[in-house]
Amino acid sequence: MSIKVCKFGGTSMADGTIIRRAAEIVNADAERRYVVVSAPGKRFGGDVKVTDLLYRCHELASSGANFGEVFSRIRSRFEGMEKELEKDVGMGEALDEIGRNIRAGAGADYCASRGEYLAGRLMAAVLDVPFVDAEEIVRFAPDGSLDATTYALAASVLRKYPRAVIPGFYGRGADGKIRTFSRGGSDISGAVVARAVKAALYENWTDVSGFFACDPKIVPSPQCIRELSYQELRELSYMGANVLHSESIFPVRSAGIPIRICNTFRPSDEGTYIVASAKRRREENAVTGIAGKKDFTVIFLEKSMMNGEIGFAARVLGILSRYGVSFEHLPSGIDTMSVVIDNRYLSGGVLEKIVSDIREEVHPDSVRTHEDIALIATVGHGMANAIGTAARLFKALSEANINVIMIDQGSSELNIIVGVDNADCAACIRAIYREFFEGKGGTGS
């Protein structure tokens, strides 16, 4: 019998009723043997995710402030769910211990991880299957990346359990302490478990019926992408389509395990399959999807004969690395070069220092910066063969009166990235969506 790994996100774990529904989904298919869970998410607009409450407790405790009020909100959520689910899994005692540890100075990662830990214990009780703690199977290297020994370790532990519930988001670091992935990282945990147990399918259960051609908060009810490739997923999720963590493909890609995005609230919807190569779409559509991310800065450099100056780019990048700054894109021409950087690297005067060092060390004819831009990626394998895709895209933007600050096309012709003002981000995505998915020559599925 083949194995399916199911990961349930925060909205699928938000209260007792939804947890029951998730358990019914698992029980409806005997192949769904390993279940990875997130911490309870928002139940309604304005609600706060348990993970955010836990980070807040840590913040308060580390500044010596009282975290009791915030902690009591976490307590009432878990104890409420325990009651609603009519299970006695010792939530009270577990929360007492977590509270003591936070007070005693536990790290941010430990605090944040407790939402998944408690949710995992609840889900294990509801399904009546063993709980396997993620700290027993997921290992982080000293630099915080996933340690490659994880797969063998997870396989050896999980082999002993025909079925199990595993909390997402965390594992154990090289120093023996709890460490987490970045936010949304339970998606990575699910992929890790899928690879370790050699699953035939990794089902990612969330609150939407698949991966849409763009963010449903920007375009209401966008088209659902039936199938996309790992590479398209990586490009779209990295650029802001946060339905799936952009790093969650790495564990499954090398093992060729498909991912299916499914809706816990509409389990019979087909969802989206993410596979090695999405042939059907490539033949039919030029554009697969669009995603955007705000808060980048571009440094534009101009220097005559830059192309003939050996080491020019290396010197510019050397300056960035001196400040511990990595770059996102590097579009260039004969006499021009632009460096696109995430704003989070540039606070506290770092941008000014980099610009001044560039002036001194590489002597450009001109250097200017454009802050607070959004990057919008239009992604699709079909773009390499479809003549005129870029022309259509830029015409759509000009008709929508959107000023394009920067353009970059990946060498694989899988994407076209444009930089626009932060304020134009949503309008830019809407204009591209309209052109390729609603327009006369619409190519959407």
- Residues shown for the chain: 445
Task: Give the three-state DSSP class for 163.
Answer: coil
Of the pair 144, 442, the CB lying nearest ligand ASP is at: 144
Which residue is nearest to ligand ADP, using beta carbons?
9
207 annotated to a ligand binding site: yes
395 to 414: interface string for Mg ion, x by CB under 5 A: --------------------
Contacting residue, 51, 246, 263, 415, with ligand ASP by CB under 6 A: 51
Query: Rounded to the nearest 5°, which phi and psi values hold at 221?
Result: 45, 60
Cβ 6 to Mg ion shortest distance, Å: 14
Residue 10 in the binding site for ligand ADP (CB under 6 A): yes
Residue 419 in the binding site for Mg ion (CB under 5 A): no
Q: Which does 303 bind (CB under 5 to 8 A by kind): ligand ADP, Mg ion, ligand ASP, none?
A: none
133 annotated to a ligand binding site: no
Residue 240 in the binding site for Mg ion (CB under 5 A): no
8 annotated to a ligand binding site: yes
4 annotated to a ligand binding site: no
Q: Residues binding ligand ADP: what is the number (CB under 6 A)?
A: 19
- Tell me the C-alpha distance between 382 and 277, whole Å: 12
Dihedral (C-alpha) 345, 349, 350, 356: value to the nearest 10 degrees? 150
Name the segment binding ligand ASP (CB under 6 A); options: 98-106, 185-193, 263-271, 281-289: 185-193
76 to 115: interface string for ligand ASP, x by CB under 6 A: ---------------------------------------x
Residues 6+ apart with CB under 8 A from 197: 3, 5, 33, 34, 154, 155, 158
Of the pair 229, 297, the CB lying nearest ligand ADP is at: 229
Partners of 416 in beta bridges: 378, 409
| CB-based contacts of 140-148 (< 8 A; 24+ apart in sequence) | 140/171, 140/172, 140/173, 140/174, 140/179, 141/174, 142/173, 142/174, 142/175, 144/173, 144/179, 146/171, 146/181, 146/188, 146/192, 146/251, 147/174
- Tell me the C-alpha distance between 328 and 14, whole Å: 35
Residue 167 in the binding site for Mg ion (CB under 5 A): no
389 annotated to a ligand binding site: no
Q: Which of residues 196-235 bind ligand ADP (CB under 6 A)?
A: 206-208, 211-212, 214-217
Cβ distance 53 to 119 under 8 Å?
A: no
Q: Which has the closest alpha carbon to 414: 238, 201, 197, 264?
A: 238
264 annotated to a ligand binding site: no
Name the segment binding Mg ion (CB under 5 A); options: 1-9, 54-62, 306-314, 406-414: 1-9
Query: Rounded to the nearest 5°, which phi and psi values hold at 292?
Result: -145, 155
Q: Which of residues 224-283 bind ligand ADP (CB under 6 A)?
A: 241-243
Residues 6+ apart with CB under 8 A from 327: 317, 320, 339, 340, 341
Q: Which of residues 29-48 bind ligand ASP (CB under 6 A)?
A: 38-39
143 annotated to a ligand binding site: no
What is the DSSP annotation of 331-364? -B-SSEEEEEEEGGGSTTTHHHHHHHHHHHHH--
- Tell me the C-alpha distance between 95 and 4, whole Å: 31
Q: Which has the closest alpha carbon to 319: 352, 361, 349, 348?
A: 361
Q: Which does 258 bind (CB under 5 to 8 A by kind): ligand ASP, Mg ion, ligand ADP, none?
A: none
Of the pair 7, 87, the CB lying nearest ligand ASP is at: 7
Cβ 264 to Mg ion shortest distance, Å: 12
Residue 184 in the binding site for Mg ion (CB under 5 A): yes
150 annotated to a ligand binding site: no
Q: Which residues are annotated as a binding site for substrate?
A: 51, 116
Interface residue list for Mg ion (CB under 5 A): 9, 184
Interface residue list for ligand ASP (CB under 6 A): 10, 38-39, 49, 51, 115, 168-169, 183-187
